[in-house]
Copies of this chain bind each other. A is one copy, B any other.
Amino acid sequence: MFSKACTYGIRALILITQRSNEGEKIGAKEIAEVTATPEPFTAKILQQLSRQGIIQSVKGPRGGFYLDDEQQNTPLYTVVAAIDGDQLMTGCGLGFLECSDEKPCPMHAKFKSIRASINKMLQSTTLKDLSNDVEGGLSFLSLKN
């Protein structure tokens, strides 16, 4: 469903959101450790998210990554689109370019409601939502791969 880069990115963002709420920044090394992801690869993804304005970064001692208040309201949709593109959310399930309601591929109808619920979920779930659940003990970010 999502690429590894995307799952690593989401995991990292949830953790950064948590720390940001505690007024802390967090470095790539600790992010990789806590989220069980390969550090240099995760660092690359964070770089990309920073360039795209999804996170803030500060170089140097006591530097690291954080999210400002506005960024904590970023919906998952934006994150997934930034890393994986929007093929999952808008593209044809069988990979056809010309597929549409008017000229549907054989899976078009079957896919429609599924795509709708994926989109709804991605648009209505923010980083803050996910981080709140972890904070409240409803879910866990530190699981093994």
List residues of A whose CB falls within 8 A of some B CB: 1-2, 4, 7, 10-11, 14, 36, 88, 92-99, 103-111, 113-114, 117-118, 121, 125, 130-131, 133-134, 138-141, 143-145
Contacts and interface: CB of A to CB of B under 8 A. Distances in A.
B139 A109 contact: yes
- What 4 A-B pairs are tightest by C-beta distance, nearest first? A96-B143, A7-B95, A106-B130, A98-B143
A62 to B, nearest CB: 27
A113 B106 contact: no
How many identical chains are in the complex? 2
B134 A106 contact: yes
Contacts of A93: 1-2, 7
Most chain B beta-carbon contacts within 10 A, residue among A88, A104, A110: A110
Nearest to A94: B7
Contacts of A111: 121
Contact of A114 (B4, B7, B118, B141): B118
Contacts of A1: 1, 88, 93
Given A88-B1, A113-B117, A141 B97 contact: no
Given A2-B93, A2-B95, A109-B138, 7 more contacts: A7-B93, A95-B145, A98-B143, A104-B138, A110-B121, A114-B114, A114-B121
15 contacts: A2-B94, A7-B94, A14-B106, A96-B143, A96-B145, A97-B143, A97-B145, A105-B140, A106-B134, A106-B140, A106-B141, A109-B133, A109-B138, A111-B121, A114-B117
